[in-house]
Amino acid sequence: MASLFSEVSERSNISQDTLRYYERIGLLPSVHRSESGIRDYTDLDVRRVGFIKCMRSAGLSIEVLIEYMGLVQQGDQTVEGRKEILLEQRDLLEARLSDR
C-alpha cells in the first residue's frame, strides 16, 4: 500500500525537507511519483525510512548509512559487507555507552 509524502513525514516524525534530503543523497532511492509529481512511498520506502530513523537514533552517521544503503542496492552478495558495517557500528556504540 502506498503512502503519500506528507503522511510518511508525519508518521515518522521526520520533516519533509529531511526526507527530500535523504532522497537527494541516495538513502531513499527512486521514490515513485504520481502522475501529478507527488511522491508516493511504497511499503519498502516506508520501511527504509523507519530503518534510517532507527539507525540515526543509534548514532550512525549519514556517511555510514549511505555506504550501507549502497550495499543494499547491490543485492545479496553484499550481506557480509553490511554485516561488517553493523558490527563495527555496534562496537562504536558500545564504546560510547561505556564512556558515560
Domains of the chain: 3-98 (1.10.1660.10)
Q: Is the pLDDT of residue 80 over 90?
A: yes
What does pLDDT average to over the chain? 92
Cα→Cα distances 95→81, 84, 92, Å = 21, 17, 5
pTM of the predicted model as reported, rounded to 2 decimal places: 0.86
14, three cell numbers = 521526520
Q: What is the pLDDT of residues 20-38, one digit of tens each?
A: 999 999 899 888 888 888 8
At residue 61 the predicted structure's pLDDT band, cuts being 50, 70 and 90, is very high
Q: Which residues contact 33 (CB under 8 A, 6 or more apart)?
A: 39, 40
12, three cell numbers = 515518522
Percent helix, percent strand, percent coil in the chain, to nearest 5? 70, 5, 25
Chain-centre distance for alpha carbon 34? 22
Q: Which pLDDT belongs to residue 1? A: 55
Q: Which pLDDT belongs to residue 2? A: 59
Q: Which pLDDT belongs to residue 67? A: 96
Please give the Cα distance from 61 to 67 (Å, whole number).
10
Please give the Cα distance from 1 to 26 (Å, whole number).
22
Q: What is the pLDDT of residues 38-60, one digit of tens each?
A: 888 999 999 999 999 999 999 99
